[in-house]
Structure 1
Amino acid sequence: MRRLGELEAEIMDRLWSWGCPATVRELVDDLNRTRPLAYTTVMTVADVLHGKGMLRREKEGRAWLYEPTRTRESYTAALMQDALAVTTDRSSALAHFVGQITADEQDVLRRALRSLTSDDQE
């Protein structure tokens, strides 16, 4: 899973945050609050994200409605999995990662691992 480009990430962030399908016009209007972007630029990037399988689209009138095919968390997990794939020592990489996260994040990780373990035992 490749990291998203800057504009791809901005589009996905809005769609994930909104939690509902959106048109290119809605994306452009929101993106233009922080920087000027052409409609065709956003349309092209949305089409690229669709081609990559990150967005699904459905025709509504003359416009496409775009929505994510996966959650932000699923995308993040895939990036983490890819990052681990580049090492020959996953244990060490994971230990370094855990050493760099906050105590609260370590607690969340422990709970997630316990939850997975208890799910496996059922």
Structure 2
Amino acid sequence: MAGGTATGTHDGAAPRRARGALEGEVLAALWRARGPVAAAVVQADVAGDIAYTTVLTVLTRLCDKGIVRRERAGRGYAYTAVQGEVDLAAARMHSVLNDGGDRAAVLARFVSDLSADDERLLERLLRGEATD
């Protein structure tokens, strides 16, 4: 294959990230920051050679989705994740459950794939027991 390889790279460039992976990396950078940060700080924290404009695009999309908030900071903006990592993961799980069609079938399949430890944890959570 001229100019590229079967792995999806072109002319020595880094492989493309999976769909949504860059959003995840940007969110992880915001969570590590523990407070409002400029896009340049996010860019420096994200792995790989990523363009500043790409980081701004991702941050704008995350703001549009309500996952990230931005506030004026001088001539630019500072960005903060609206939800913590655990909250966002739970919201995504609810979204998948709601979009999965047959809720009982989706839940049954999910539970059938849990490890024994996760099953015990889920049982404790359903009984209202603390998870410490």
TM category, shorter: 0.7 to 0.9
Match of 1:78 in 2: 91
Structure with higher RCO (Cα < 8 A, 6+ apart): 1
1:41 to 35, 54, 63: 54
Larger radius of gyration: 2
Q: Distance in 2 between matches of 1:17 and 1:112?
A: 28
Aligned residues: 110
TM-score when normalising by structure 2: 0.72
1:95 to 95, 104, 108: 108
Question: What's the Cα RMSD here?
Answer: 1.9
Structure 2 residue runs of 5 or longer lacking an equivalent are 1-18
1:16-55 → structure 2 map (5 Å cutoff): 16-31=31-46, 34-55=47-68
Q: Distance in 2 between matches of 1:38 and 1:20?
A: 22
Match of 1:5 in 2: 20
More helix per residue: 1
Where does structure 1 differ by over 3 angstroms across 4 or more consecutive aligned residues? none
Deviation per residue, 1:51-105 (Å, 9 max, x gap): 11111111121231111112222222222222222222x2232122112122222
Cα drift, residue 9 of structure 1: 1.3
Structure 1 residue runs of 5 or longer lacking an equivalent are 117-122
